[in-house]
Structure 1
């Protein structure tokens, strides 16, 4: 299965925040949308970074609550791993596992086209396994 299939199923909406968004505001955005990460982008099209709940927690433990009044740019991950709609779910699973990341933006011609989470990957993989099981059950029933 391709990433394009995942995006088609879940939708292409990507929540973005600007680099100057305060971390306190980011927390509201994450809660409002019930998500674990947001893409950092000035123009909602190109990626300047990504910021997740993990980034907030890590910086809270090292810098204290002062980070809540600082900009997202001070805690975001700037080296963002991305994928394309043509990549496979297996390739993305491998990337997420090797890099220990939970959110990967999808790019088309350098522009944000979606965001895939580890939850999306797991849901897709479970769906594939269920389909395979059903097909095997049908095959076994036919050969009896």
Structure 2
């Protein structure tokens, strides 16, 4: 399955935040939107970094009670894991494994257009497994070809 097919089943909204905003604002955004990842940019369609729940946890572990008021720019990830819409799901899974990340930013050239999360991967793999199981049951029962 290609990344573009996964994006078709997701909300087209790509949540972003400006780099001058405090981390606590990102945490509220995570809560309100039920997400765990944002793109950081000075203007819509720009990506100068990303911020995940893990990045926020690491900031708290390192800076303690000062972390929630730190600027996004000071704690964001600048080494962003990316893929294209034409990449296959196993490639994205390999990126997640190698980079130890739960989110891969989907790019169209230099423009971020979506995110594939570990949840998206699990959902697809589960659907694929259920489909294969159903096909096997139909094959064994002999009902698939009538």
Q: TM-score, normalised by structure 2?
A: 0.93
TM-superposed CA distance for 1:117, in Å, is 0.7
What aligned pairs does 1:1-144 form with structure 2 within 5 A after superposition? 1-142=1-142
Alignment gaps of 5+ in structure 1: none
Deviations 1:53-82 (A, max 9, x none): 111111111111112112101110001010
Question: What per-residue deviation string (whole Å, max 9, x for no partner) do you get for residues 28-76 of structure 1?
Answer: 1111101111111112212111101111111111111112112101110
Please give the alpha-carbon distance, in whole angstroms, between the structure 2 residues aligned to 1:30 and 1:19: 16
CA distance in 1 between partners of 2:64 and 2:36 (Å): 20
Structure 1 residue 109: Cα displacement: 2.2
CA-based RMSD of the aligned residues comes to: 1.5
Deviation at 1:84, TM superposition (A): 0.8
Structure 2 portions without partners, runs of 5+: none
Secondary structure in 1 matching 2:9: helix
Task: Give the total of aligned pairs.
Answer: 144
Aligned partners of 1:106 and 1:114 also within 8 Å: yes
Q: List, as ranges, runs of 4+ consecutive aligned residues in structure 1 with deviation greater than 6 Å.
A: none
Cα deviation, residue 140, structure 1: 1.7
Structure 1 residue 24: Cα displacement:
1.2
Deviation digits for residues 92-123 of structure 1, max 9, x if unmatched? 11110111101111111221111111011110
The answer to whether the 8 Å contact 1:38/1:52 transfers is yes
More contact order relative to length (CA 8 Å, sep ≥ 6): 1
Please give the TM-score of this superposition, normalised by the length of structure 1: 0.94
